[in-house]
Amino acid sequence: MKVGIIGLGQSGKSSLFHTLTEQVPEAPSGKPHRRLGRALVPDERVETIARIENSKKKTYAEVNFLDPDGFAPDSLKSLTSELLGMARGSELLALVIRAFSDPSVMHPLGSVDSMRDLKNCFGDLVIQDLAVFESRYERSSKSYNRGDKSLKLEVETLEKALFILGEDKFLAQEEWSKPEKEFLEGFEPLTFTNGIVVWNVDEDAAFGRGGVGVPVEAKELCDKKGWGIGAVRLSLESEVMEIEGEERRIFSMELGLKETVRERYLNSVYDRLGLLSFYTAGPKEAAARTIRRGETAWDAAGKIHSDIQRGFIRAEVMSFDDYVKYGSEEGVKKAGRYRVEKKEYVVQEGDIFYFRFNV
């Protein structure tokens, strides 16, 4: 799972990357490049399983982050094609919008106007997708008009996409047939990608879940585009993440932070992408893995290893709640709560699997 972090210069884009991945910030190099990092998803269920099984190893689900880096701060007055090109292919985009007023940190446009930046950045996403589809449509329509009728679906889908983008709408706001969707996904459109706006506020500003700290106008615009939005205090919370262990927890409590920005953001990623966690348990390893809601036991097997998926025979399943209630796999079996499922079984949040397979 990959999240692309985008934003104008001095918005806090790299601060978000640092806060989520705990990688040391880099000084601007003038050489744009992709910076990659990852964050392990905190999960108390892994701890519980490891304790019951006495597991030697604990494996957490992880989210990978991509930060298009190396740009001079004053050069990012818009979301450029080079920056957005690096973020294409992400499963989710995190757009950082500056809403803090620090006179020592100059905005590349000379003034802080969060709504202006939000509207402009959304417009940049549309413009970049328009450029991609216009180029393809020019070539495809010529061939179609010369008699290549195999391009009918492609041309009609491109015309529909260009019309929607021309109306300043996101492609994700429209209904698409399965063939249309599969065609569009090949281009990795930015406006077809799920997204969250990170509203980066002052240290003393209100913030939190449920839209706290976000202007109504910004929330309404994001709702219209199908994006989520939340306020964070990155300058403060990046300092919190530099503190280790128990001191971090105590400092967070003093600041009124019930969750770190990493915990809040990773929860938002799961919600936006419709993800859930399933587990495997044993003395060798207690592991959490991620899967989309609606996917099956066969899909889950492939998340562990392609051989397990290829040779799938059956899935033995118990819920995490039953596992804790009865104290062990054996206890779940004695209670009659242990199940055998076929590959079509739809995975539920907290399922613990043991896969039978043969290759």
Q: List, in order of start, the domains of the chain with CATH numbers.
A: 2-41+62-108+193-273 (3.40.50.300), 122-191 (1.10.150.300), 294-357 (3.10.20.30)
pLDDT tens-digit profile, the chain (359 residues)? 899 999 998 899 988 998 898 887 666 666 888 889 999 998 999 999 999 999 999 999 999 999 988 677 666 788 888 889 999 999 999 999 999 988 888 888 989 999 999 999 999 999 999 999 999 999 999 999 999 989 999 999 999 999 999 999 999 999 999 999 999 999 999 999 999 999 999 877 665 555 567 999 999 999 999 999 988 888 877 777 777 767 767 766 676 667 777 788 888 899 999 999 999 999 999 999 999 999 999 999 999 999 999 999 999 999 999 999 999 999 999 999 999 999 999 999 999 999 999 98
- The predicted-structure confidence for 257-266, as pLDDT tens digits, reads as follows 677 777 888 8
Strand order of the sheet with strand 275-280?
Answer: 57-59, 285-292, 275-280, 351-357, 312-319, 339-341
Q: Which tokens is 347 given?
A: 């995975």
Nearest residue to 62 via CA among 86, 94, 39, 34: 39
For the stretch 214-223, what's the b/e string if a residue is b when 16 or more beta carbons lie within 10 angstroms of its beta carbon? bbeebbebbe
- pLDDT of 162 reads 97
DSSP 167: T
